[in-house]
Every structure is written in structure tokens, then in C-alpha cells.
Structure 1
């Protein structure tokens, strides 16, 4: 299940500034858990903030026109 040799492909993970929208909230929550010996009762405010961030992100859908690799594959099919 790999890619064919010679096909066009762009690794989108190497584009540098990939946004990680809830990373700060998650780090804060995990730090709080580690300081309080995994007692999430003391970290409820941070847990709610992380949940709100994740819920806000789930409403955003992917771009309807597909990924860049999808379009590269379409172009290479027409080229043959």
C-alpha cells in the first residue's frame, strides 16, 4: 500500500508553520495534571478550556476542493 514510484507527492507536514490550534490548552492541562498527581478535580478550569477549544475545532470542516495531493494525482492522470 505505498505510492507508485515517480508519482507526484508533496508532504504537507513539512510546510513549517502548521497550526496546532489547541496545543497550548492541552499543554496547560497536562502540566496541571502532573503537578496535582492526576487529580483532574483541581484542573477543571483548564479541562473546560481544552474541551471548548476542541469543540470549536470540530465544527471546522476540510476544504471542499480536496488536498493538494489529490489535485497532483488528477493532473498526472491527464498527462499520461
Structure 2
């Protein structure tokens, strides 16, 4: 699998990684797990904060009009 030579493509991982919304909560939860030998019963507060953060992010996770690469491919098809 690969892309055709000469086609337009933007790497969404490199372009969209400017903001990491729940990184602080994730690090806090993982540190708590490490300190308590993977016993998540002692990390309930951190787990709730991480769940709340991820739930808040799911509503704005994907734009309804599709990815930028899809639109670049459409424009490239029309150009030929």
C-alpha cells in the first residue's frame, strides 16, 4: 500500500498534534498507577478526572465534513 507519486497529502499526525487535551490527566493517572502497583482502586479520583476530560473531547473529536486528505484527493481528481 502506498500513495501515488505526485499526489497531494498532508500528514494529520504531524499537523494536528499541536494540542494534547488530556495529557495532564493521563500522566497523573499513570503516575498514580505506578505508585500503587497498578491498583486502580486507589486512583479513583484521577480516573474520574481522565474520564471527564475524554468525555468532553469526544464531542469535538471529528469534523463532520471529513478529513483534509479526502478533500485534497477530490480536488486532485478534478484537476486531471
Interval of TM-score (by shorter of Structure 1 and Structure 2): 0.7 to 0.9
Normalising by structure 1, we get a TM-score of: 0.85
**Paired residue for 1:36?**
36
Q: Deviations over 1:10-40 (max 9, x none)?
A: 1122237522211110110000110111121
**Paired residue for 1:15?**
15
SS of equivalent residue, structure 1 residue 57: helix
Large movers: runs of 4+ above 6 Å: none
- Give the whole-Å Cα distance in 1 for the aligned partners of 2:67 and 2:17: 17
- Give the whole-Å Cα distance in 1 for the aligned partners of 2:10 and 2:21: 23
**Deviation of 1:72 (Å):** 1.0
- Give the whole-Å Cα distance in 1 for the aligned partners of 2:74 and 2:66: 11
- Give the whole-Å Cα distance in 2 for the aligned partners of 1:64 and 1:40: 36
Q: Tell me, which stretches of 5 or more residues in structure 2 are unaligned?
A: none
**Paired residue for 1:74?**
74
**Deviation of 1:66 (Å):** 1.7
Q: Tell me, which stretches of 5 or more residues in structure 1 are unaligned?
A: none
